[in-house]
Amino acid sequence: MWIFCLGVKNNTHEVVGTSFDDHQDVKNEPLKHYLARLVTPDIGFQFDEVQYQGKRLVVMTIPAVVKMPTIFDGARYIRIGSSKENLMRFPEYESQLFQILRNGMPTVSNTESEFQDMTFNKLFLYFETKGVTLNRRTFKKNLGLLTADGKYNLLAQLLLDDCRLPIRFAVFAGNNKASTMYSVKEFGYTCILYSLDQVLDYGKLLNIPQADERERQTVRKEVPLFSTSAFVEAMINAFVHNRWLDGNAPMFTAYQDRIEILSRGNLPPKQTMEGFFAGESVPVNQVLSNVFIKLHITEHTGRGVPRITEAYGKDIIRFNENSVVVTIPFERLGQEVYEGGKVTPQVDGKIPYVSMSVENKILAICVTAKNMQEIAEGVKDRKTVR
C-alpha cells in the first residue's frame, strides 16, 4: 500500500497544509473519475481530508497490486531513483515484477534451489540427536522444503548434506583486517545446523578463561573473555535472519579486542527499530525459523537482542546498508605490564590491557637485575621464563 500526504514537505516533513481540492475537474471531468477511467485494472484508490496541527492535509491511499502491474493511460511506469520511466524500456525489471506478483516477494520458501540432487542424512541424524522424530515420508512438506511446483527450494539447500556454501571464521592478530591473519576456519559445505554448532564450539575455544588475581585470598576466580550468552544469541540470529537469497553466508571475524558477527540483509519490512531492540520477533526467514523452533534452538520469544544489549548496550549493533553487524567486545582483565621498567598506571581501579609479548615483558622486567623467581612472579609464566 502507498500513502501520499499532501501538505507535508518531502525533505523536512514539516506540516505546511495544502489547498489541493480532490473534487476539482480535470479536462472537464471530475478528478476521481478521470483517474479511475485511466487506471487499469481498478485499484480502489481513495482521498481523505484530515486536520493535523491546525493544518489541512489530503491523504491519498493506493492499495498494492495483486495480480498484474497497474496501467495508467495505456502504459506501465516504474520509479528509478527520482525519475518515472516506462516499464517496457526495462524488461528485466518487468520480468522481476511479474515474478513477484505470481509468487510473492522472494523467500527461501518460494525460491528454487540451484541444485536438485539432494540427500538429507545429516538432517535426520541431527533431529535424532535432539530427540525429535522426523518422518521420512512427509518431512519435505512438514519442513517446507518444496516450492509450489514441487521443486527443492533454498531452505532445502541450506539443510542438505552439502549446502555448497562457505561459512568462515577468520582470526586476525590486530584490530583490523590489515593486520596479520592467524587463521580461517571453514564451517560450511554441510547442513547449516551442523555449521551453527561448530561455530558455537569454536567460540568456546576463543572464550579463554582469565585468572582473576585481583584481591585474591584463597580461591582464584576465572573470568571469560566475553559473554557466552550474548555470543550464542548473536550467532543464532545471524543464521536465522541472514539473507540467504543472495547466496552469501554470515561472516565471522575475531580481532585482538572483539568478535564481529555480520549477517547479510537488514531489518524485515514489518520490523521497526524500536521493535527490534524491544525483542519483537519478526523472522526474516520464517520457515528456517520454524525449523530452529522445532529443534528447540530458539523459542520465538524475541529474547535474543535484549540479552545482547543487556550485556553490552545497543551501540554494539550496527546497521549498514546491506548488513547487520554485532560486535562482541573482549573484556580483558588488567594485569601488571612492565614497559621500560615501569608499571602501567591503573584506570578506575583496573590496570588496562596492553598487548605485549612474554619475551618483551621479561626484557622490560630485567632492565634492573632480577633472579628467576622475581621474573616468574612478574610474567606469571614459569615455563617461558625457564
Name the maximum alpha-carbon separation found in the chain.
Answer: 104
pLDDT of residue 373: 77
Say if residue 148's pLDDT is above 70.
yes
Give me the mean pLDDT over the 210-228 stretch.
Answer: 77
Task: Show Cβ contacts of residue 1 under 8 Å, excluding neighbours closer than 6 positions.
Answer: 61, 62, 63, 64
Q: Domains (ranges, CATH) in the chain? A: 2-103 (no CATH), 121-159 (no CATH), 168-329 (3.30.565.60), 338-385 (no CATH)
Q: How far is CA 4 from CA 31, 67, 80, 326, in A?
A: 16, 22, 18, 36
Contact 46, 60 (CB under 8 A): yes
The one-character DSSP state at 133 is: -
Q: How far apart are CA 361 and CA 376, in angstroms?
A: 11
pLDDT of residue 358: 63
At residue 119, the 3 state secondary structure works out as: coil
pLDDT of residue 150: 95
Q: How far is CA 104 from CA 68, 88, 108, 187, 371, in A?
A: 12, 21, 12, 32, 75
- Number of Cβ within a 10 Å radius of residue 42: 9
Q: How far apart are CA 151 and CA 116, in angstroms?
A: 7
The model's confidence at residue 367, banded by pLDDT at 50, 70 and 90, is: low
Contact 310, 303 (CB under 8 A): no
Q: How far apart are CA 303 and CA 282, in angstroms?
A: 12
- Number of Cβ within a 10 Å radius of residue 259: 23
Sheet of strand 46-52: strand arrangement: 2-6, 55-62, 46-52
Cα of 114 vs its chain's centroid, Å: 24
Q: How far apart are CA 291 and CA 140, in angstroms?
A: 12
Write down the mean pLDDT value for the chain.
Answer: 87
The string of pLDDT tens digits covering residues 74-122 is: 999 888 877 889 998 888 888 878 877 877 789 999 999 999 999 999 9
Give the CA-trace dihedral at 208, 211, 214, 220, to 10 degrees.
Answer: 140
Q: What are phi and psi of 234, to 5 degrees?
A: -65, -40
The string of pLDDT tens digits covering residues 161-217 is: 999 999 999 999 999 999 999 899 999 999 999 999 999 999 999 998 887 766 666
pLDDT of residue 363: 67
pLDDT of residue 384: 65
The string of pLDDT tens digits covering residues 326-350 is: 999 998 875 443 333 343 443 443 3
The string of pLDDT tens digits covering residues 252-288 is: 999 999 999 999 999 988 899 999 999 998 999 999 9
Cα of 249 vs its chain's centroid, Å: 11
